């Protein structure tokens, strides 16, 4: 699909609909192609980057947080 910059401004919802159907969109400005929009592939699984962050530690999270929250003792 080829659209102008004006179409991009005024018909963005139609362009998003076209992108969801895996169409490529070429954007022209003053008759010259300037950009190409392609839809992103949605991942099959939602991957949480924080999941398993403590898996390689022997100490559990609760113990570590309690240790971090303890007050400091300054022996002079």
Average pLDDT taken over every residue of the chain: 82
CA distance 37 to 26: 6
pLDDT at 54 over 70: no
Q: Is the pTM of this model over 0.85?
A: no
- Angstrom distances, CA of residue 3 to CA of 23, 39, 40: 12, 16, 19
- Would you list the DSSP string of 48-69? -TTTTTTTT-SS-HHHHHHHHH
């Amino acid at each position: 699909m080829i659209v102008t910059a004006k179409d991009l401004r005024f018909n963005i919802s139609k362009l998003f609909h076209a992108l969801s159907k895996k169409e490529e969109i070429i954007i022209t400005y003053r008759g010259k192609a300037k950009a190409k929009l392609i839809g992103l592939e949605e991942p099959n699984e939602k991957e949480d980057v924080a999941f398993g962050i403590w898996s390689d530690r022997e100490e559990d999270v609760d113990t570590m947080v309690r240790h971090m929250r303890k007050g400091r003792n300054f022996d002079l």
